[in-house]
Structure 1
């Protein structure tokens, strides 16, 4: 299938990515997501079981008031464009994860740590649906294998069994599989949508959270069973 230029997704250009990255770094604390983490978060939401509105995911990204209205409008516009671009890129097989870099003796290398942390937090926003399916439906767990391998390797997730570190080639292979994994996850939820019983359970949990009865514990990094 060929795609015309008019159909190609409008992703952030390098200047816009740098602008958003600079803002996030300037306002980041230890547990805050940087650009790679935000991309992982939004990627999980793009292929997840049900829609997550901006008012739910923005608190995972923005943690303090903007300096002024212009700054706020600009940052929100960049985040909206980043969010929209993910689904558009997946639709035309053009998705690429935004990854961080770590310095090694051999020079800088790509790291999936931030992206995986964000992806895990995206799953957390619909934890009830994801965790039930991951426990009940082994094919979904299998599809997510490369993401889980990277997340465990980076210490984002804890493995119940002893886990041997990935070799450089294995790590790179898992990175290369991320676009196909996301496409397969999106197809999984399209073919096996959340049931009414699952949605009812999610709504009940959401009501309990709103009423603080009982307050749920944060589950980031605990979707591996």
Structure 2
């Protein structure tokens, strides 16, 4: 993890031991389709840069799936999640955002993987799917801004491509990974400059009431977090 200078204005992000603690909790309780640490970071990142507020009671069910063993465990896990959530917006404010990525074994050794982060980011968008889908359809610039995220998500099988899609080369994949902080900053800026209108919010709220859950469950991931 990158070493940071001590600064009173610097975001209070989780340190390595706290990240390990949250990672271990999520892995211990993970079942098929559950988000791990990189996925939770992707989820919260999408929410942080999204069009409207998403309350914890809406996103926590995407992360926690069973009762805590006791009150102390519950308070601790919720505190870690709250700190992780708060740190994302704080990091974006000072251009210090870094995605938490997975690390998978390949023939050439360990490699970074955006699969979990993209899965979480996709679920974060799904929480306000109507607003995202309408604006993406109406404003090609937003789709262009999200290009590197979309490319990674399609490459990892998180999203389906309308046309035939060639797998990214290792260099292209790494280039998309390197662009993630800039993409998140740009999307955050986009929604601050072009906020969702009352009409958009009302229309998508009505549509979401009749929307059904996707039929295909998300894939389970493996790997280790890397920040």
Q: What TM-score does the superposition give when structure 2 sets the normalisation length?
A: 0.91
Gaps in structure 1 of 5+ consecutive residues: 209-213
1:218 is the counterpart of 2:214: yes
Using the TM superposition, give the Cα deviation of residue 217 of structure 1 relative to its aligned residue in structure 2, in angstroms.
Answer: 2.8
- Give 1:211's aligned residue: none
Residue 5 of structure 1 is matched in structure 2 by 7
Cα deviation digits, residues 156-183 of structure 1 (max 9, x gap): 1110101111111111110000000000
1:124 and 1:220 map into 2 onto residues whose CA distance is: 14
1:5 counterpart SS class: coil
Provide the secondary structure at the position in 2 that maps to 1:42: helix
Q: Cα RMSD between the aligned structures? A: 1.6
Matched residue of 2:8: which SS?
helix
CA distance in 1, matches of 2:47, 2:124: 6
Of structures 1 and 2, the one scoring higher in RCO (CA 8 A, sep 6+) is 2
Count of residues in Structure 1 that have an aligned counterpart in Structure 2: 213
Query: Deviation string for 1:29-57 (max 9, x for gaps)?
Result: 11000000000000000000000000000
Does the Cα contact within 8 Å between 1:124 and 1:219 map onto a contact in 2? no
Structure 1 outlier segments of 4+, above 4 Å: none
> Quick one: structure 1 residues 220 and 44, their matched pair in 2 at CA, closer, same or farther if it must change by over 3 Å?
farther
1:15 to 14, 17, 21: 17
Measured in 2, the distance between the counterparts of 1:195 and 1:219 equals: 30
1:138 is aligned to 140
Paired residue for 1:178? 180
Structure 2 unaligned residues grouped into runs of 5+: 218-227
Alignment partner of 1:79 out of 71, 81, 94: 81
Which residue number corresponds to residue 150 of structure 1?
152
Q: Which residue of 2 aligns with 1:114?
A: 116
d(CA) in 1 for partners of 2:193, 2:67: 40
- Which deviations, in whole Å up to 9, do the C-alpha atoms of 1:83-118 show, x marking residues without a partner? 000000011111100000110111110000000000
Q: Tell me the CA shift for residue 218 of structure 1.
A: 2.8
Quote the residue 1:43 is aligned against: 45
Distance 2:128 2:91 in 1: 23
Structure 1 residue 64 displacement after superposition: 0.2
SS state at 1:179 partner = helix
